[in-house]
Structure 1
Amino acid sequence: MEKVMTYAETERLILRGWRREDLPVFAAMNMDARVMRYFPAPLTEAETEAFYDRIQEEFDGKGWGLYAVELKATGGFIGYVGLHEIGFEADFTPGVEIGWRLAADHHNRGYATEAAKAVLGLAESHGIERLYSFTAEVNKPSERVMQKIGMEKLGEFDHPKLTAGSTLCRHVLYGMKF
Structure 2
Amino acid sequence: MNNIDYLRSVIRTVPDWPEEGVMFRDITPLFQNKKAFRKLIDTFVHRYYDHEIDAVAGVDARGFILGSPIAYELNTGFIPVRKKGKLPFETVQESYELEYGSATVELHTDSFKPGDKVLLIDDLIATGGTMIAAANLIKRLGAEVVEAAAIIDLPDLGGSAKLREQGIDVYSICEFEGD
Structure (1/2) with the larger strand percentage = 2
TM-score between the two structures when normalised by the length of structure 1: 0.31
Q: Name which structure has the greater RCO, CA cutoff 8 Å, separation 6+.
A: 1
